Chains A and B, each alone.
Chain A
């Protein structure tokens, strides 16, 4: 511990000398710069993943019509639109499409540089949408970006335990990102097996028709796994060893708890993914048969390995957003978090239980039905800590003095979406009900409420810590407008997917009108698509606000939100080494409205008089 601390101090001291442009902005070992790098990279990928979603939504609302602005995409993926391609061109189906307001809009917009999407390319589009959103947006944003930025600052450390490893972590993620985007441009296009890449479709290039693209997908995730692993080791070491004096485990902010637990999950889950990906790559390129029954392999083995990684992965994605939400709700309710220990322990419980629920993705996979019952029961159990968290958030709001800032609104939005996503999960946890809703849009609705709902946690974090990261305030009015539109259109886009799923609408189909039993619900697809476009367009407000604030936002002072945690005692943005002197921590992170002081916040590092000090925890 002392060694690591000494090294960091030494580094901080040594690097007070002027660093060149390259060492400051590109190959930086400063956790704050690395955090910013992850942040910008993931926001860039958010645009890519979002545009892919828009293409998908177009296809689902107005199947087999020209998708506007896509004629620049080359022939095997998009085909030139012909003259008579109109909405409802599928024979006899116009009556199911035409009455809805979108039809004329689609007709006219489709003629603007429109092209027809190949069904195989549609598979690539949704595969890459999910892959990018999960591995290249949410993970780098929350874990890479905010994990890096917040951990040392909030525990009172000068930097990460291993600054060079930290730099390597980012620069390992870069080739992985380039590779996943590049896979669109190789012959055969990008991976098309769904983000879950079920064997045997994924294990034999002749079955999916995608060769190099899927290899690149596997290799990219292998490399990204190395990057995340380096980050995880760094986070764990830093949290264990480099907490400031007085920063006991139960004085850590919940966001640090969440990132710490996430790092442990990453450390344990990624090797499983790596092993599975390695086997898949061997099957694809070297003719092994781990997953091919022809050579004695077992396709369902992939599902067990993938979901053994995949379910902890869900909590890797959502835990940091829960932590962020807890901090922000407490800060803007001006109230201590309700049930701090219950919150910390429920995160640990979620992390532990996430290892024994993977089979709930496989109730109809051909797994033994008796095993299905066992996984159903563990899944019912994991709902309990989620319920505990929700009620504690409500308890935090109760009796507060609530300030409706943009970060607070987004945090509330996260809670609201998480409630819906958590409740809809109960349907699929029940094995008999899952028989029907498995692989339908009900599932799509559920995981978008949970995983796409994380974007509310992401925005909450960004609006909240933007002043600390960039030294300037974001515009509050634009932030609130951004929240209102995002919240409305998010729910309009994702809630009706439940209705589609209940009607039996399958996932991953590119033309719902190929099925008679879906004719009557097609108008929901049109409604969802229009809402999704509005959701996408609403983000322009965010980008305008983000870029404008970066350049010309109001200068932020140290503690614009009157918050308690240590990062707010450092300058905005903090310089090298973060703190002028290592802070000493005297209390927990959520001492808002404490009777010990006149103002309604009490920073963790403020030393009170002797009589007050004994009264505080």
Chain B
């Protein structure tokens, strides 16, 4: 009974699961109470032509009881939910690990900022469907979409957030146990929705360092800005090309909705290109 939910490896998943089981016990008790009463009444008061039904139109006291008791239970549940919701959604921990995940029919486009910690620079690394994060560290994730609404769902992290075209949504997660986890799309996004998924690699510190060093060899990153331009062709091909062509779309639209000058649409592309050449 307690293994219904998939394994939880997140810092806040425990509270969510506890709330789930709390609601489970309340609803189970309510269900048993109502069903038992119903069965008892149906048996006890089955047709018997030798007696008459009780002639009553109700009972104000009872009405009050079954109005107030559920109301108190629901208010309690609401308050419990509110505090956990805030813990998950509003108290975002400080972190220097950031990634950007962009949904597109039918893949997750994952963008890593690289050693400089900035997106849309030459040392960015972009790959489809592979999300690498270190174990036990909060990760800030910027979610967007290129076409339709997707939803990044990581069952083992109790994480789900829709991704909207034209907007970037900031969220966070943390995985406390190394391993690989599936990260499917949970919002209908077209004919390829079924099967749209990525893999979350939660790496041990050693594995993460190995993955990181393979991507950004330490010798080159030491030189900071100067060496950042000297990236491999792969990075240029993926990161820089994306900067110039694809990201402006996603970036420009929220700017436009905020009624800023239409010319801002070009800025991300320009600045990205500038940074890349510096």
Q: Within residues 429 to 453 of chain A, which ones have a CB less than 8 A from any CB in chain B? A: 429-433, 435-436, 438-440
Of B39-47, B121-129, B203-211, B221-229, the stretch lying at the interface with chain A is: B39-47
Q: Verify if B237 is at the interface (C-beta below 8 Å from A).
A: no
Q: Output the nearest chain A residue to B48 by Cβ-Cβ distance.
A: A401
Question: Does residue A481 face the partner (Cβ distance < 8 Å to B)?
Answer: no
Query: Which of A277-285, A374-382, A485-493, A555-563 binds B?
Result: A374-382
Distance in angstroms from A348 CB to nearest chain B CB is 14
**Residues B74 and A383 in contact, CB atoms below 8 Å apart:** yes
Within 8 Å of chain B (Cβ to Cβ): is A104? no
B25-53 contacts to A (CB < 8 Å): 26-27, 30-31, 34-35, 37-38, 41-42, 45-49, 51-53
Binds B, one of A215-223, A362-370, A466-474, A574-582: A362-370
B231 within 8 A of A: no
**Alpha-carbon distance A416/B85, docked complex (angstroms):** 31
* 8 Å CB contact of A433 from B19, B182, B193: B19
B47 contacts A432, CB within 8 Å?
no
Complex interface: chain B residues within 8 A of A120 (CB): 191
Q: How many Å from the CB of A333 to the closest CB on chain B?
A: 6
B264 in the interface (beta carbon within 8 A): no
Measured in the bound complex, the distance between the Cα atoms of B31 and A254 in whole Å is 25
Contact B186 A207 (CB under 8 A): no
Return chain B residues, CB-CB under 8 Å to A440: 186
Contact residues, B149-163 vs A (CB, 8 A): 149, 151, 153, 155-156, 158-163
The stretch that binds B, out of A170-178, A263-271, A514-522, is: A514-522
Q: Which chain A residues lie closer than 8 Å to B149 at the CB level?
A: 198-201, 299
B88 within 8 A of A: yes
Residues facing B in A355-411 (CB within 8 A) are: 364-366, 369-370, 372-373, 376-377, 380-381, 383-384, 387-388, 390-392, 394-395, 397-404
Given A201-B149, A299-B164, are A424 and B5 neighbors across the interface (CB < 8 Å)?
no
Known: A376-B81, A390-B34. A399 touches B45 (CB 8 A): yes
B-chain residues with CB within 8 Å of residue A594 when the two chains form the complex: 55
Q: Which of B57-65, B108-116, B266-274 contacts A (4 or more CB under 8 A)?
A: B57-65
Q: A366: which B residues are within 8 A, CB to CB?
A: 161-164, 167, 169
Task: Say yes or no: A335-B53 contact (C-beta < 8 A), given A201-B190, A435-B159, A515-B197.
Answer: yes
Q: Which residue of A is nearest B195, CB measured?
A: A514
Cα-based distance from A192 to B191 in the complex (angstroms): 8
Among residues of B, the one whose C-beta sits closest to the C-beta of A439 is B186
| Contact status of A380 and B153, CB under 8 A, knowing A298-B166, A399-B54, A432-B16 | no
* Cα-based distance from A298 to B254 in the complex (angstroms): 9
B162 lies within 8 A of A364 (CB):
yes
Question: Which of A398, A412, A514 has a CB less than 8 Å from the CB of B197?
Answer: A514
Contacting residues, chain A, for B46 (C-beta < 8 A): 402, 404
Flag if A380 contacts B53 (CB, 8 Å).
Answer: no
Contact B81 A431 (CB under 8 A): yes
Nearest-Cβ distance from residue A189 to partner chain B, whole angstroms: 10
Q: Could you tell me if A517 and B6 are in contact, using CB atoms closer than 8 angstroms?
A: yes
Once the chains are docked, how many angstroms separate the CA of A250 from the CA of B163? 50
A207 to B167, CA, bound (A): 18
**Residues 278-329 (chain A) with a chain B CB within 8 angstroms:** 293-294, 296-300
Quick check: is B56 within 8 A (CB to CB) of the other chain? yes
Interface residues of A in 539-562 (CB under 8 A from B): none
- Would you give the 0/1 interface string for B75-99, flagging 1 where the beta carbon is closer than 8 Å to chain A? 1011011101110111000000000
Q: Judging by beta carbons under 8 Å apart, are B158 and A436 in contact?
A: yes
User: Is A300 touching B23 in the complex (CB atoms < 8 A)?
Assistant: no
- Of the candidates B23, B53, B166, the one whose C-beta lies within 8 Å of that of A593 is B53
**Contact A592 to B53, CB < 8 A, known contacts A365-B162, A499-B4:** yes
Question: Which chain A residues lie closer than 8 Å to B161 at the CB level?
Answer: 364, 366
CA distance in complex: A92, B89 (Å):
39
**Nearest Cβ distance between residue B274 and chain A, in whole angstroms?**
25
Identity of the chain A residue whose Cβ is nearest the Cβ of B65 in the assembled complex: A391
- Does the CB pair B147–A200 fall under 8 Å? yes
Q: Is B218 an interface residue (CB 8 A)?
A: no
* Closest B residue to A380 using CB positions: B74
A435 touching B160, Cβ below 8 Å: yes
CB distance from B89 to the nearest CB of A (A): 4
- In the complex, are the beta carbons of A338 and B56 less than 8 A apart? yes
Interface residue B241 (Cβ < 8 Å from any Cβ of A): no
**Which residues of B lie under 8 Å from residue A62 when comparing CB positions?**
none
**Nearest CB in chain A: distance from B90 CB, A:** 6
A293 touches B81 (CB 8 A): no
**Within the complex, which residue of A199, A208, A376 is in contact with B78, where a contact is CB–CB below 8 Å?**
A376
Q: How far is the CA of A300 from the CA of B167 in the complex (A)?
A: 10
What is the distance, in angstroms, from A584's C-beta to the closest C-beta of chain B?
Answer: 22
Whether B166 contacts A294 by the Cβ 8 Å rule is: yes
Interface contact A384-B71, CB-CB below 8 Å: yes
Q: Check if B253 is an interface residue, CB within 8 A of chain A.
A: yes
Flag B2-25 by CB within 8 Å of A: 1 or 0 each: 001110000000011001100110
10 closest A-B pairs by CB:
A293-B166, A399-B54, A120-B191, A504-B155, A339-B58, A369-B89, A380-B74, A509-B194, A387-B70, A423-B27
Chain A to chain B contacts (Cβ below 8 Å), 29 pairs? A123-B188, A207-B190, A293-B165, A293-B253, A296-B256, A296-B257, A299-B164, A338-B56, A339-B59, A366-B162, A373-B85, A380-B77, A383-B74, A384-B67, A397-B38, A397-B45, A401-B48, A402-B42, A402-B46, A416-B38, A423-B30, A424-B27, A427-B27, A433-B19, A436-B155, A439-B160, A440-B186, A511-B195, A593-B54
